[in-house]
Structure 1
Amino acid sequence: MSTLDGHVVLVTGGGRGIGRAHCLELAARGAAVVVNDPGVDRDGSGGGGGPAESVVAEITSAGGTAIAHTGSVTVWDDARDMVARAVSVFGTLTGVVNNAGILRDELITSATEQAWDSVVDVHLKGTFSVTKHACDYWRSMAKSGRAVDAHIVNTVSGAGLWGNVGQAAYSAAKAGIAALTSVTALEMQRYGVTVNAISPLAVTRMSAGFFGEDRASDPELDPACISAVVAWLQSPQASWLTGQILRIDGRRLIRIAGYAEAPQHYVARNGERLEFDELQQAVRWLWGTAPRGLAGPLPVRA
């Protein structure tokens, strides 16, 4: 039996690049795949069903099972229909891979409202829209007494974790997806749904120009290198893991620990609340740059 026999997985942005690699890997492991892709260009313009249909043809010619869906994740009813189509055709939905994305890079000082809205709509709203309708379906299943073992895999990036010049909208959207991953994991765990995210490094049309010439043909940056992790996160083997981010950099799998409190803290010297006059000492001490001889009591370590 293949790893994902009986699974039905919806992949958004599945027509090219990393999304295409996910679809092929999932299908090769036995899953039925809903390949969603409206066929837009890198910046979100244009459109057409060619990319989704092409991936479906690849899967079916290899003996797998797949259908195409060309709706947009930015359209609420399209997102609902993706879930409904999976259930109507295959009888169930066991997983979602939120991968759809566009890029419109701009410095903050030259950014336009339209470009900001477009990027945030596809990445953040799109991830939420598909997630919401899938979660509605799984919650209804659980409420009716049926067993649920479902998996959501979201897509974040280094730009969302640490920022990147010229990518305010993209970074903010990806950071939002990281937070959405945590919230959805907390809310859906009771219904048998795990929610994790990947932060992939790969050479695709989306990342064109990001890698230097020396890495542009690096086999470790082939999109297919990412997809084994996604397939594993869609499998029952991953049902214990939720609310986490895994970064894939070639052969390296890295756990992202997220925001964490530093191991020390400063206590207000009056014992009640922080005062303006002590913050120069307190903050510089927290960052390890406090000069010797500053007036006031020593900070307290946790």
Structure 2
Amino acid sequence: MHLGIVTPVLIQHPSTRSEWEASADIGEIATVAATADRLGFHHLTCSEHVAVPEEIATERGGTYWDPLATLGYLAARTSRILLATQVLVLGYHHPLEIAKRYGTLDRVCNGRLILGLGVGTLKQEFDLINAPFVDRGARADDALAALRVSLSTPSPEYHGEFYDYSGFVVEPHAVQKRVPLWIGGRTKRSLRRATTHGDGWVPFGLRFSELKEMLDATTLPDGFDVVLPAGAPLDPLGNRESALRALTRVRDAGATIASCSVGARSVEHYCEQLEELHRIALAEGSSFTTS
């Protein structure tokens, strides 16, 4: 099981944010990214929200750094770590917008892009930008099919229910022949969507027993990734055994990749926590890896 990180600062959820993140700047984010890159962690993440209603922001947070700008900057500060959008909301974009913008990012980062994509649930945000909400699932399926044939070619062509295009040039485009698509969600339909159109599934808000039941009932394609959160922020320096138990639970639930959050008092402490997490992975041999 590979270990990636949920990049701190970029999302600030009231229940998990460390105090130092509230005033952190891009330099501190880059320090974290460079440390994770040096240690060989699998990926870092950046999510997407355009605007969160105030009443919802008090519960789930209102800070969401823009993934294109942020990952473009971090691409220049790293060399190996994969850059994952976790997740872009498909209904907010035309497929060719994603193909151009994130295809350019894939070129900028020399083929390190992972496109994490989701259907979206925040109706107020859909309404704000005049994006259709009721049929967003069907639109997402069509967008995924369109992206699959459009990301890595300069002359994409697609004819679907909601998206139909040909005769356009999209340059630059992704340098990867097959950009990994991770599909977010918490339903059986999201898992079916992931196995049909994607290369991985990024579920959230499910108990390990529910995850295992859903995965056991599904035939996963070869090379398919199951990307699970490692739970509450880990404290490998303060409680090594608890961190190890959390990683073991995720692995036993079927994860091929764990997205890890760590608690910290400062950016320096955060990087020390990553160093210790890396040592735990090394000590466990083939069970966990940061490379």
The structure showing larger relative contact order (alpha-carbon pairs under 8 Å, at least 6 residues apart) is 2
Normalised by the shorter chain, which TM-score bucket?
A: 0.3 to 0.5
Tell me the TM-score normalized by structure 2: 0.36
Tell me the TM-score normalized by structure 1: 0.35
Q: Which has the larger radius of gyration?
A: 1
